[in-house]
């Protein structure tokens, strides 16, 4: 499986971002990719300072933005993962921060609404976003079994573990990781940790541009970076060999060594 990580800078203008996404689709296919992963909320990069509420740009998943990407997926025979703003009935300000995976026939294979919001480091994503209330799940594709998480959720190991236990071989992580002291170190460390502890591949596409770190990465089940980007916008290509998962799990069978009877004890997952 050849993956293209679209490390691109979204603006607040949806039409401009759609054109950038469609160019990335063409470039990814020209580069031999089977799957293109675009960043979190690539539909429009909005902050509380933008003056544009997410509800103003949000669409249903059968709206023009996702439909245009589905058309391109079908035209180019490409899997496409992308972060979008999904409209919420009755909401005038906020929207769901949703990741979608489209198949090469243009079908919507998987959608996931971000459940853990970035209310940290002085930012309040909950002012912009309605959190999802459903657990992530994996979907089988012709390329392998794939799951979706979104950005800040990298900090919650329970979510990646849920996907691994659901059979995910590759976790796609569209992101808009905000820059700040030690944030690059957190990003690279957490991606490697989630890959190692679940013995899966993680493909993380981060936004480039102001206040975002870039540094998109494809990491294997031993935490080895197969490809990585710097700060500049562009596509980063890498290849996933799913046989690597069995090779790693043969010598590192940690998933099979879990003791669920211990984890189920009262208070095991309650923060003190």
| 40 noted as active-site residue | yes
Catalytic residue among 14, 40, 125, 169: 40
Q: C-alpha angle with apex 42: 71 to 140, nearest 5 degrees?
A: 60
Q: Which whole-number Å values give the CA distances from 47 to 17, 50, 240, in the listed order?
A: 16, 5, 34
Question: Which pair of structure tokens corresponds to residue 27?
Answer: 């470039």
Looking at the DSSP bridge assignments, the partners of residue 114 are none
Among 82, 114, 153, 169, the one annotated catalytic: 114
Which positions ≥6 away from 45 have C-beta within 8 Å? Answer: 9, 10, 11, 12, 17, 176, 207, 209
Task: Give catalytic status of residue 261 as yes or no.
Answer: no
- Is 151 one of the catalytic residues? yes
Dihedral (C-alpha) 248, 251, 256, 262: value to the nearest 10 degrees?
-120
- What interhelical angle do 157-165 and 183-198 show, nearest 10? 30
- Residues identified as active-site: 40, 114, 151
């Amino acid at each position: 499986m050849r993956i293209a990580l679209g490390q691109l800078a979204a603006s607040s203008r949806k039409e401009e971002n759609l054109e950038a996404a469609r160019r990335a689709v063409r470039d990814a296919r020209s580069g031999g990719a089977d799957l293109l992963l675009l960043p979190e909320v690539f539909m429009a990069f909005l902050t509380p300072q933008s003056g544009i509420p997410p509800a103003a740009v949000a669409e249903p998943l059968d709206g023009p933005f996702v439909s245009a990407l589905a058309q391109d997926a079908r035209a180019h025979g490409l899997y496409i993962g992308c972060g979008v703003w999904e409209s919420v009935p009755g909401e005038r300000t906020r929207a769901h921060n949703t990741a979608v995976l489209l198949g090469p026939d243009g079908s919507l294979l998987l959608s996931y609404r971000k459940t853990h919001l970035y209310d940290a480091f002085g930012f309040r994503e909950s002012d912009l976003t309605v959190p999802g209330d459903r657990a992530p799940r994996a979907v089988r594709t012709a390329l392998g079994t794939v799951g979706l998480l979104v950005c800040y959720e990298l900090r919650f190991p329970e979510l990646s573990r849920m996907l691994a236990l659901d059979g995910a071989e590759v976790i796609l992580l569209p992101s808009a990781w905000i820059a700040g002291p030690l944030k690059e170190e957190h990003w690279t460390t957490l991606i490697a940790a989630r890959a190692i502890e679940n013995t899966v591949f993680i493909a993380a596409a981060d936004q480039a541009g102001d206040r975002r770190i870039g540094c998109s990465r494809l990491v294997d089940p031993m935490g080895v970076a197969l490809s990585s980007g710097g700060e500049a916008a562009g596509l980063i290509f890498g290849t996933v060999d799913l046989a690597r998962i069995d090779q790693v799990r043969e010598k590192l069978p940690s998933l099979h060594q879990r003791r669920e009877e211990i984890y189920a004890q009262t208070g095991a997952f309650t923060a003190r």
